[in-house]
Structure formats: C-alpha cells, structure tokens
C-alpha cells in the first residue's frame, strides 16, 4: 500500500518505520516557533522540564521566536509579553529571535528567511503554522504546552492524519487567486470538513500557482479543521528556494497508490472570486451575488499572514491606481515583513497607498485578531484579507467581518461597498 506525502514525512521523523495514518507517534521536530502571545506560556512548561538540570533548549538554532501579534507593543501587558521573549532568547542564545526592525508577521517571515524547508516537521504555537505546507513540509499548529516540551526535548507527539486529496482543474477566471480557491473549498466542505486531516492540494491549477498563492491556501487549511495543508514540491518550489542548496532538504511525494479518506475535485473555471460572510469562513458567496447586495463597509484591511506578501500588495496597488479610498471607510495596508515593506516602497506601492488615503502600518498581526491597529466598533463592518471572521474577531461583538482576496478588498475600498474590480 502506498503512502501520502504527509505519512512519509512523519514516518521518517519517528522510530516507527511502519507508521501510517491513525498511528500515534513521537516525532523529532526540525523547527519550532512561538510568538508574543503563545511563547511566554511555553516558557513555564520548559522551565519545569529542565528544573534541577543543567540542560537548556534542545537546539538554539531550531527555535524561532517572533513577537508579532500585539507589536509594536500596544500597552504595558503586551510589552511584558515581548520582554519575556527577549529575555528567554538572550538567556538561551536563541539564534532566530526577531525583534522590532527585523520582525515580520511570522508566517510571512519564516519562509522569507528560508527557515522552513521541504520535508521538515515544523510546529508552531499558532494555528496558522500550517502555512509552510506550501513548501512541502509537515507543518502544524500546536499548543503552548507542546511547544514548551519541544523546546526542551526536540520532540512532539502526533496522530498521523488521514489525508484528503483536493484536485483543482480547469482555468482560473479573472481575479481568482489562492484566497478564492481556499475560501471556495471551505465553503464546499465546511469549517469541520477536514477535521484533523491532511489537506493535500494538487492538480494542474495548483501546479501553476505562485508561491504566494500556495502559502495562502495552506495558511487557511486550519479554517476547515485541517491538521495540515500540503502541496507537493515542484520547480516553482525549487525556484523559491534557489538560494538554498538542494542537499539541505528532502522532497517527498505521495505514491500513486496512496490511500486517501476522500478525493475531491473542483472545476476552477466555475469558481468566481469569493467573499466569506460573518461569522464563519464557510459562509462563502460568489462576488457576482455579493456585488448586487451593495454591502457598505467601514474598514478594509489588506495584509496578514494570509495575504501580506509583495504579490498581494502589487495587486492592491494595481487596482487602486490613481483612485482615492472611499471617504466613508478606513483602509489599512500591512506589509508582511520589513523586507516586503522596503520592496513595496521601492516599487512605489507605499506612496500610492498613502496618496490614495490608506493607512500603512509596520508589520503586525494586530487587526486580524482584534488586537490593535484596526479595532471595530459596534455595528461596523470590515472587509479583510485575513483568515478568520468569527463573532467579535476584530473588535466589538456586534461588528461584522467579511473575508476576501486583495483584489476584492482593494476594489471595495474605492467603491465603499463589497465589489469586484470588474464592476
């Protein structure tokens, strides 16, 4: 019986060389990640494990700490959280600690810095750690307790997930992106449609997608309940990693006779740009239907670990052009990393955004989780390129969040209601 890419990676990271989907394993971890919300809790667990010993972290080059959620520090409490990361990093000589000026939104920063590679087992105390499956890694979110254990021992336990194979065929329609494909997928299977499953994205459409779009798709696997999202590495992957020696990573692929719990195929020629309505990512509607509703909005957010890459900013800038942001709303643009920010300045995107009336922020997760830099008041509506639109997600419990791609967000910021560049 053949194996899936997820089974192969996890089998090679455990002593059980016969392990298959459904088996519980103790896996060796290649990298582990914490941020300013989740890492401080894990430090307490770590300290208990090493108490009374002379041991430190399992490998100071395999731990990554990124204060990005409430940074730049919005208050004293968030400053104390960030300080805990700094103190721990200096105490244990953590090589990859990214403080302000170097920091970025973690799931944009880690791939940019080539800190995750194909074939690795990567865990992070953040649910959107599944982003890195776009590079052909087994990457998943864990709790702070698991992170604390991994920092001490370099290991984490898993039940090897069964896999669902998604095949995307046909030709993409205008403005349809990876964000639209994953929103459409979640709309079809529901937010629990892939609970604790590996979502394996394949097909001729996926093979032509840019890395930015692949990161977006894998990022939102968790919104369907997925344990991980993963895309088999190909030449696009290798080109993204061109500065990394190929002997530094291992490429896995699913066997032709691999066993899947389900195989789901989508004809992408029938997929329009999507908008997810409150209060779940599964509440998707095609833009042709949404446009006719004329839903007025108070805020647009373009950025986040889902859509804060240079390609996303380029699309938004192209659509905004010489237009002005509608005077009835706030438009917040957040580059995913300092490098992306700098490149966007060089290309003129940042000046364009500012002249249009948008707000441009240093990299932060702030508005996505209702932390800062874009909190919603009661009865306000936001259209966001982020990944979640739960009740009260971006502020007041009586606010509403709609999700879309950067193209739809940019067009809507100009019009003042949710629409497409084509209307």
Among residues 243, 271, 299, which one ends one of the domains?
271
pLDDT digits (tens, 9 = 90+) for 27-63: 999 999 999 999 999 999 999 999 889 899 999 999 9
pLDDT at residue 116 in the model: 97
Among residues 271, 290, 307, which one ends one of the domains?
271
Classify residue 18: in a domain, yes or no.
yes
| pTM for the whole structure | 0.95
Looking at the structure, do residues 73 and 191 belong to the same domain, yes or no?
Answer: yes
Looking at the structure, do residues 280 and 266 belong to the same domain, yes or no?
Answer: no
Looking at the structure, do residues 240 and 387 belong to the same domain, yes or no?
Answer: no
pLDDT digits (tens, 9 = 90+) for 99-119: 878 989 999 999 999 999 999
Among residues 218, 251, 271, which one ends one of the domains?
271
Say which CATH number the domain at 203 has. Answer: 3.30.499.10
In 188-314, DSSP assigns E strands to 198-202, 228-230, 262-267, 274-276, 284-286, 299-303
Looking at the structure, do residues 264 and 298 belong to the same domain, yes or no?
Answer: no
pLDDT digits (tens, 9 = 90+) for 314-329: 999 999 999 999 999 9
pLDDT band for position 1 (50/70/90)?
confident
Looking at the structure, do residues 260 and 342 belong to the same domain, yes or no?
Answer: no
Domain span including residue 175: 1-271
pLDDT digits (tens, 9 = 90+) for 121-138: 999 999 999 999 999 999
| Cβ contact 263:167 at 8 Å | yes
Looking at the structure, do residues 218 and 117 belong to the same domain, yes or no?
Answer: yes
Taking the C-alpha atoms of residue 104 and residue 301, their distance in angstroms, rounded to an integer, is 17
Looking at the structure, do residues 218 and 337 belong to the same domain, yes or no?
Answer: no
The chain-wide mean pLDDT, for the chain, equals 96
Looking at the structure, do residues 240 and 190 belong to the same domain, yes or no?
Answer: yes
Structural domains of the chain, count: 2
pLDDT at residue 99 in the model: 86
Q: Is the dihedral of CA 300, 302, 306, 311 positive or negative?
A: positive
Looking at the structure, do residues 252 and 278 belong to the same domain, yes or no?
Answer: no
Looking at the structure, do residues 219 and 281 belong to the same domain, yes or no?
Answer: no
Looking at the structure, do residues 267 and 279 belong to the same domain, yes or no?
Answer: no
Average pLDDT over residues 82-93: 96
Looking at the structure, do residues 259 and 388 belong to the same domain, yes or no?
Answer: no
Classify residue 423: in a domain, yes or no.
no
Classify residue 422: in a domain, yes or no.
no
Classify residue 399: in a domain, yes or no.
yes
Helices 349-356 and 310-320: crossing angle in degrees, nearest 10, is 50
């Amino acid at each position: 019986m053949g194996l899936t890419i997820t089974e192969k990676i996890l089998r090679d990271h455990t002593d059980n060389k016969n392990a298959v989907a459904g088996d519980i394993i103790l896996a060796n971890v290649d990298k582990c990640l914490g941020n300013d919300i989740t890492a401080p809790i894990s430090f307490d667990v770590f300290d208990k494990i090493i108490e009374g010993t002379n041991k430190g972290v399992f490998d100071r080059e395999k731990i990554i700490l990124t204060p990005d959620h409430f940074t730049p520090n919005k208050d004293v409490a968030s400053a104390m959280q960030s300080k805990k990361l700094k103190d721990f990093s200096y105490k244990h000589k953590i090589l990859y600690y990214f403080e302000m000026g170097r920091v970025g939104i973690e799931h944009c920063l880690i791939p940019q810095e080539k800190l995750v590679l194909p074939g690795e087992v990567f865990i992070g105390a953040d649910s959107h750690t599944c982003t890195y499956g776009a590079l052909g890694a087994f990457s998943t979110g864990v709790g702070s307790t698991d992170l604390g254990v991994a920092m001490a021992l370099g290991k984490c336990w898993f039940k090897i997930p069964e896999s669902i194979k998604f095949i995307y065929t046909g030709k993409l329609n205008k403005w349809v992106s990876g964000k639209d494909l994953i929103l459409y997928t979640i709309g079809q299977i529901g937010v629990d449609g892939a609970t604790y499953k590996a979502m394996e994205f394949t097909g001729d459409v996926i093979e032509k997608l840019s890395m930015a779009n692949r990161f977006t798709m894998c990022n939102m696997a968790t919104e369907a309940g997925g344990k991980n999202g993963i895309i088999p590495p190909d030449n696009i992957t290798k080109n993204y990693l061109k500065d990394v020696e190929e002997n530094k990573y291992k490429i896995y692929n699913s066997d032709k006779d691999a066993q899947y719990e389900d195989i789901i195929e989508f004809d992408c020629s029938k997929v329009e740009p999507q908008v997810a309505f409150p209060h779940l990512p599964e509440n998707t509607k095609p833009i042709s239907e949404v446009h006719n509703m004329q839903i007025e909005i108070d805020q647009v957010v373009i950025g986040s670990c889902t859509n804060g890459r240079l390609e996303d900013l380029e699309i938004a800038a192209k659509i905004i052009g010489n237009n002005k942001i509608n005077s009835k709303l706030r438009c917040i643009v957040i580059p995913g990393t300092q490098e992306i920010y700098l490149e966007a300045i060089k290309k003129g995107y940042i000046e364009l955004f500012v002249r249009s009336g948008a707000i441009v922020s240093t990299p932060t997760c702030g508005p996505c989780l209702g932390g800062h830099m874009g909190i919603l008041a009661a009865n306000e509506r936001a259209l966001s390129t982020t990944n979640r639109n739960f009740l009260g997600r971006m502020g007041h419990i009586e606010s509403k969040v709609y999700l879309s791609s950067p193209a739809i967000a940019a067009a809507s910021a100009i019009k003042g209601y949710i629409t497409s560049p084509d209307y």
